[in-house]
Amino acid sequence: MSNLLQFSISEALSLLEKKEFSTRELVETYINAIEKTKDLNMYLTTCFDQALEQAKISDQNYLNGNQRFFEGIPLGVKDMFCTKGIETTASSKILKKFIPTYESTVTQNLWKEGAINLGKLSCDEFAMGSSNETAARGEVINPWNFEEKRTPGGSSGGSAAAVAAKAALAATGTDTGGSIRQPAAFCGVVGLKPTYGRCSRWGIVAFASSLDQAGPITRNVSDAALMLQVMSGYDPKDSTSSNKNVPNFYNDLGKSIKSIKIGIPEEYNSDGISSDILNAKDMTINFLKENGAEIIPVKLPLTKYSLPVYYIVAPAEASSNLARYDGVRYGARIDGDSLDEMYENTRNLGFGDEVKRRIMIGTYVLSSGYYDAYYLKAQKVRRLIKNEFTEIFKQVDYLVTPTTPTTAFKLGSTQDLLTMYLNDVFTVPASLAGIPGISLPIKLDKNKLPVGIQILGKDFDEQGLLNVAKVIETCASFKDTPNGATS
């Protein structure tokens, strides 16, 4: 029955409707796949009993013909989403055994439409990392060339790996500086970071509030459109959520891209960027040309400031967002002789090194005497970066860039933090500007590792982004599957 794993969301929905197989069969197949891929260390928590219960309801709904929009679709959920009654740790020791009494808006939107939760997927601790190596429960192994133990990327490493390994039909991710797009690229799947405000942040463990955005990680562009449609929507509980209408992304896919303008920013290049990645970019440009798009080289000179700005703004917000993990009300508590000592013990043992590092950086850039030089300056530059995108989008409709400077590197190979931070160099600018971005696989490099290409668009133009991605996807015809996947 493992052939059920081959179907995408849209295929599965139509086959379920035709009763070619049952939800129960589909869910059991995925449970089986999860068991088989345990070595990749992707799931932190599974909820198979609950999933099978839900499958019964779904099958009943199909039987009665009142199936919901996403009835019976088995999904994995990044551990940053609070899930009612299911342990939610953000891959941190400090939230060990934390079981929320509430469900995040985004996951609730999915369950409401009949999707089924398989379990919680590993990620970097509090989504801080680009390799999944900061996860408290150990790194996830990329299903591509899994015997080489490569990174799935991060922070949504578990989500991207699970989708690539067919241990979930699709997964939710969160993207703060590239945490959906970079792992999607490393794992050869599609990852979409929507416009800031498109998906509610309510119930998602906060890393950097002005940057965090939920999005889908899927096998293909159509599935990304379907997922986004269900995940999105205005939420009065999130003051930064947008009340813009959510289009029918899936139905409106497939529009011609003839004569649309695609900008190729010259700054999205770096020392040591591999020829395979540059080649993937050229391939993409050719696909676009063949489909009648106009290719325009553009300049985004402020790009070089994005990474420094990001590593001020994100830690600043994180240092404050993570203050609530103090051992007083929930999560881990390590006692001490005084309140201060209890704080110190709890936070010292509860947080990993990367999280501590970012809390310290964030605390520093906000402290009196440094605020103006760092945080305030960074916010000003962030505004300029946003303006630069706004201006460029007056000249072109979309931007096409590599998603990452390299393909998936070996776990434990990056000794130097700055090199690690450079992983996000192509994804961070869109996060700072709040604009949507999508990464999709184009080809394999010489090491048989997937190469991703990123498309960026205007605020709330996910539809256009998906259309362009769909055209590229069709041309690239990327069909390889990782050897770590269940077949």
Partner 1 sequence: MKNTDQNSNYISGKTGDWEIVIGLEIHAQVLSSSKLFSGASTEFGKDPNHNVSLVDAAMPGMLPVINQTCIKQAIKSGIALNAEINKYSVFDRKNYFYADLPQGYQISQYKYPIVGEGSIKITDANGEDKVIGIERIHLEQDAGKSLHDQHPSKSFIDLNRTGVALMEIVSKPDLRSPEEAASYVKKIRTVLRYIETCDGNMEQGSLRADCNVSVRKPNGDLGTRCEIKNLNSIKFISQAIQYEAERQVEILENGGVIDQETRLFDTSTGETRSMRSKEDAHDYRYFPDPDLLPLELSDSQISEIRSDMPELPDQLVERLISEYGITKYDANVIVEEKEYVHYYENSAKNRDGKLVVNWMTSELFGLLKKNNIQFNQNPISPNHLNELVELIENKTISGKIAKDVFEIMFATSKSPKMIVKEKGLEQVTDDSVIEDFVDQVINENKDKVKEYLSGKDKLFGFFIGQVMKVSQGKANPGLVNKILKSKLK
If the CB atoms of residues 111 and 409 are measured against partner 1, the closer one turns out to be 111
C-alpha 39 chain-centroid distance: 22
Smallest gap from residue 329 Cβ to partner 1 (A): 6
CB of 205 to partner 1, least distance (A): 5
Q: What minimum distance in Å lies between the beta carbon of 195 and partner 1?
A: 15
**Cα angle for residues 427, 431, 435 (degrees, 5° grid):** 105
| In the complex, least distance from residue 236 CB atom to partner 1, rounded to whole angstroms | 7
* Minimum distance from residue 324 beta carbon to partner 1 (Å): 4
Comparing CB distances to partner 1, the nearer of 78 and 443 is 78
Cα(426)–Cα(442) distance, integer angstroms: 17
Nearer to partner 1, 340 or 416 (CB): 340
Which tokens sit at 293?
Answer: 């798009």
In whole angstroms, give the CA distance from residue 303 to residue 338. Answer: 47
The amino acid sitting at 472 is I
**280 neighbors 476 (Cβ within 8 angstroms):** no
Q: How far apart are CA 459 and CA 242, in angstroms?
A: 11
- 366 neighbors 379 (Cβ within 8 angstroms): no
Catalytic position from the list 104, 122, 131, 155:
155
For the four alpha carbons of 326, 357, 386 and 407, in that order, the dihedral sign comes to negative
Which residue type is seen at 116? I
CA separation for the pair 166, 157 (Å, rounded) = 14
| One-letter amino acid of 341 | E
- Closer Cβ to partner 1, 138 or 236, answer by number: 236
DSSP track, 142-159: PSTTGGG-B---SSSHHH
What is the nearest approach in angstroms of partner 1 to the Cβ of residue 277?
33
Chain centre to alpha carbon of residue 484: 20
Could you tell me if 469 and 439 are in contact, meaning their C-beta atoms sit under 8 angstroms apart? no
**Smallest separation, CB 8 to partner 1 (Å):** 30
Residue with tokens 């991060």: 154
155 given a catalytic annotation: yes
Whose Cβ is closer to partner 1: residue 375's or residue 478's?
375
Which sign, positive or negative, has the C-alpha torsion 419, 424, 428, 429? positive
Active site residue 131: no
Catalytic, 179? Answer yes
SS3 44: strand
Q: Which of 58, 179, 242, 306 is catalytic?
A: 179
Q: How far is the CB of 100 from partner 1 (least distance, A)?
A: 7
Tokens of 382: 């962030």
Whole-angstrom CA distances from 204 to 125, 153, 226, 318 are 14, 20, 21, 14
Asked if 49 and 60 count as a contact pair (C-beta separation under 8 A), the reply is no
Q: How far is the CB of 362 from partner 1 (least distance, A)?
A: 9
- Largest pairwise CA distance in the chain: 70
Please report, as ranges, the residues that interact with partner 1 according to CB under 8 A.
81-82, 88, 90, 95, 98, 100-102, 104, 201-206, 208-210, 236-240, 316-317, 319-320, 322-324, 326, 328-330, 339-340, 343, 363, 366-368, 371, 375
Q: Which CB atom, from 28 or from 317, has the smaller least distance to partner 1?
A: 317
First to last CA, the chain: 10
Looking at the Cβ atoms of 100 and 215, the one nearer to partner 1 is 100
Instruction: Give the C-alpha separation, 193 to 481, whole Å.
Output: 23
Q: How far apart are CA 222 and CA 254, in angstroms?
A: 10
Nearer to partner 1, 88 or 463 (CB): 88
| DSSP string covering 321-338 | HGGG-SSSSSS-----SS
Nearest to 405 by CA among 388, 424, 390: 424
- Nearest to partner 1 of 376, 475 (CB atom): 376
Catalytic residue annotation: 78, 155, 179
